[in-house]
Structure formats: C-alpha cells, structure tokens
Amino acid sequence: MPAESAAIGVAVIGAGGAGLLAGLASARAGARTVLYERMKSPAKKVAISGGGRCNFSNSLDPRQFIKLFGDRNAPLLGHSLRAFSRDDLVEMLAKYGVEGQLERNYRLYTKSGKGTDVVRALVSEFEEAGGELVTGACIREVAREPDGSYLLRAEFGGVPGERRARTVVVTTGGLSYPATGSTGDGYLWARRFGHGVTDLRAALVGLTVEEAWTRGLQGLAWPDALATLWPPAAEGGGPDPGARRPLAEERAEIVFTHFGISGPAILDVSNVFVARGLTRAALALDFFPDLSREELDRNLLDRFQKHPNRGLARALEGLMPARLLDHFESMLGLEPDTVACRVSREKRLGLLDLLKRTALSVTGTRGIEYGEVTAGGVEWKDLDPATLESCLSPGLYFAGEILDLTGRCGGFNLQAAFSTGYLAGRSAAERAGGSEFRDGENP
C-alpha cells in the first residue's frame, strides 16, 4: 500500500484487463502509477474467460476487427488499436512464455489452456514497468479538487483512507459476473461527473427457451451449428411468417443447459436479442450447415441401408451424439426399438427437418449477472476517442467494459479492453506529466 505522503501521478481503479494495461502504459510513460483492486487478486474475469482458456484476441487486422466487432461504436476504437495492437499483446505475452493458439478461423486462445497465464504475464509486465498494485482496496468515492486533482476516498483492507492523484483512469468493468468484482461503481462516478450512461443489459448471455426438452440434454454440446434468430409471430409461437430476413445468424458451437441453450453461437445472437429489447423470439438450429437437405438426406438413406436392423441411434452412430438422436427419435414418435428399415419416408423427412431446422421459442436471457459482458455503458459523446479523456472533467479517463462498447465472441471484447486501457493509461500519464504532487502534499 502506498504511503499516504507519496505522490500519485495516475490512479487506476479496477485491475481487470483494461486496468492492468492502463497501469502498464502509465508506468511505462514514467508516471507514478497505483492500480487499485477491490478483490484479493486481479483480473479474475480475464482468467475465467473462454471457459478458463482465455480467448485473449484474434488474428483479424484492425479494419476487419472493427467491421466484425458487432457494435455501432466500434469505429471509435481506431486510436486504441493503434496505441496497443494485437501484435503488441502477442509480443508481450510471449515474453512470459504465453503462446497463442489459433482456433475456429481467427480466435486466439492460450496454447496452455490457462487464462491465469495471461493474468500472470500482465501483472508481471505492469510491476516490471514500475507500477504498484494494491488489492483489497474499495474505492468509495472519486471527487475532483479545486486544483484539478482527484481525491479517492476508500477502504484499504477495511481501513478508511484517502489518496490524491493528478489523473484517474476508471476501469471498473460492468455489471456482469459480480463475483469477479464488478459492482457498477464506475457508472455512478461517471454520472456524478455529468456523463451519460446508457441502459445496462446482459450481453453474450445464454438464452432461456420454452421447450423443456433442452434441459433434459443439459451439458450436451454440438461443435458446429448455424443459429438463426427470427422475430416471433404475433401469437408468440414460431417465427413471424412475414419476416423477410433473420434478426441474426451465427455459426459456432452450441450447448444445451439447465436453463435453455448457450455456447458461442447463442451468445452472439443474444446480443441482437438484447439490443432490440425483445422479450420473445424464434430460434432455428441447423446442425449440419455445410450440407444441403438433399445431401443430408442421401447420407441418412445410405446409413439406413447399411444398417437396416439397427435402431435409429446405432444406425446413425458417429453422425450425432446418441442422447440427441434419442431425443429426436422421441420427437418423431418412434418406438425405442424401431430399426432403420422400419423408419418410414415421412419419419425420415421429419428427422431431416429436425437436423436442418430445430425450432426453439426464446423467452429471455439468463440475466445480466451471467452475461460475459455488459451491454451499454458510459456514452462516447463526452469522451475524446483519441485519448479516452472526459470532455467534462479533465484528467478523468474511462476504458474497458465500462464504455458503451460490446463485441461478439472471438477475442473482441478482451482486445478492446486491453487497447482502450493502454490508450487511456498512456494519455493519463502524459497529462500528469511533470505536474505530479510533491512529496508530502498527499493527505
């Protein structure tokens, strides 16, 4: 913990991905930097992201990154991505033996499969640059002093105290996964300084569905499905027959859960469901997006002919998990002991329909506490995207998930957090410059 008399050039509040990079950039720029974290250890959310494997970035160039990001504010990321790019991140992680592994087209995961390796590298680089990490520090209030400095009222290990800093970077995250330390305090501070904060909603979140059978398949994953979200019909069942195009379409893994359905494809379409303020929608699942109906039908016929005396699940062994095939068998009204040669053309075409267009009725999301990120946040209209400094309170910066910026799955949100954090920290250090407090001035 810093001594009360010590001068702080840049105070960073929140040691997640954005906070660690803000602190790193500030310390590298020569400012006395203190990073405050309310939890006992930093960056818990980074450590558990990607199922604990940490999809920390992707291989897209900046233009593709912004185009595919999935948020109207993504073009404002240009300055941040130039300040700290994917290549900068990969090079820094490699310094600590953390290698990336390319998966599913462009996603970069840790080769070790451990998100904690990324956290370890970020903390080590921050401390090597001269930054100071203070955990167990609950910042209760941020106030601007008459001289333009900032007063932080806090509890340090349960003991009340105050710190002064020339500049402050707020990287407190959103409201998702509160167990990782995200409490929404930063939004309150932003409003007190006159900043607008949009409605806050769950993003990249599992969807609840009406169909109870999905819960019976809890834990079952399918690696490559096309999930298509449609507006619901007026009566609430099935897609609106008048809809000319889907609301969203994503192809990736899906997972059946105790509340409905999740997985990367579902998390991505959930962003559209949330952004449009829907309460219901229709979801269609294509389990074989690379095969046309005709090609898949020939595949089924070929398997039935090769194994005429096997039950449906065994005849189609290797095509899909037996649990899922058993469920489809039940939906078709087939007896469990029905052999392949007894499956009528009508039932086979019914199975084909299920494989190419299983319909689900979406009733909502699992809730903001389970969203991987928070949709909405501090509005950009009163921020300078070239520095991420507040236009209303000089010396105050915002970065990371607290911003009104929400990307799709695939390393977009973490890279945005790293890049905006770095830009904000560097900018804060430049403003702090040679005007840090003299020793003894900080109460």
Whose structure tokens read 């490559």?
Answer: 224
Q: Is the pLDDT of residue 85 over 90?
A: yes
Both tokens of residue 130?
Answer: 């001269």
Topology adopted by domain 8-201+375-432: FAD/NAD(P)-binding domain (3.50.50)
Q: Could you give phi then psi for residue 442, rounded to 5 degrees?
A: -80, 120
Distances (CA, A) of 31 to 23, 35, 135: 9, 12, 20
Given a contact cutoff of 8 angstroms between Cβ atoms, the answer to whether 402 and 170 are in contact is yes
pLDDT grade for 58, boundaries at 50, 70 and 90: very high
- For residue 236, the model assigns a pLDDT of 54
Q: Is the pLDDT of residue 423 over 70?
A: yes
Compute the Cα dihedral for 78, 81, 82, 87 and give only its sign. Answer: negative
pLDDT tens-digit readout, 159-172: 999 999 999 999 99
Q: Is the pLDDT of residue 364 over 70?
A: yes
Q: What is the average pLDDT across 350-364?
A: 96
Give CA–CA dist 259/264, Å, rounded: 16
Instruction: Outline where DSSP puts E strands in 272-354.
Output: 281-286
pLDDT tens-digit readout, 199-218: 999 999 999 999 999 999 99
Q: Is the pLDDT of residue 424 over 80?
A: yes
Q: Is the pLDDT of residue 5 over 60?
A: no
pLDDT grade for 441, boundaries at 50, 70 and 90: very low
pLDDT tens-digit readout, 112-128: 999 999 999 999 999 99
Q: Is the pLDDT of residue 1 over 50?
A: no
- For residue 4, the model assigns a pLDDT of 44
Give CA–CA dist 131/33, Å, rounded: 5
Q: Is the pLDDT of residue 442 over 80?
A: no
pLDDT grade for 289, boundaries at 50, 70 and 90: very high
Given a contact cutoff of 8 angstroms between Cβ atoms, the answer to whether 247 and 231 are in contact is yes
pLDDT tens-digit readout, 366-421: 988 888 999 999 999 999 999 999 999 999 999 999 999 999 999 999 999 999 99
Residue extent(s) of CATH 3.50.50.60 domains in the chain: 8-201+375-432
Give CA–CA dist 387/422, Å, rounded: 10
Nearest to 211 by CA among 241, 271, 256, 255: 256
Percent residues over pLDDT 90 in the chain: 81
Mean pLDDT of all residues belonging to the chain: 92
Q: Is the pLDDT of residue 434 over 80?
A: no
- For residue 235, the model assigns a pLDDT of 54
Strand partners, 80: none
Both tokens of residue 222?
Answer: 């399918």
Q: Is the pLDDT of residue 242 over 80?
A: no
Give CA–CA dist 207/274, Å, rounded: 10
- For residue 150, the model assigns a pLDDT of 97
Nearest to 362 by CA among 214, 155, 196: 214
Give CA–CA dist 363/217, Å, rounded: 18
DSSP secondary structure letter of residue 434: T
DSSP secondary structure letter of residue 342: G
- For residue 237, the model assigns a pLDDT of 59
Give CA–CA dist 201/417, Å, rounded: 18
How many Cβ atoms sit within 10 Å of the Cβ of residue 292?
11
Both tokens of residue 433?
Answer: 């410059």
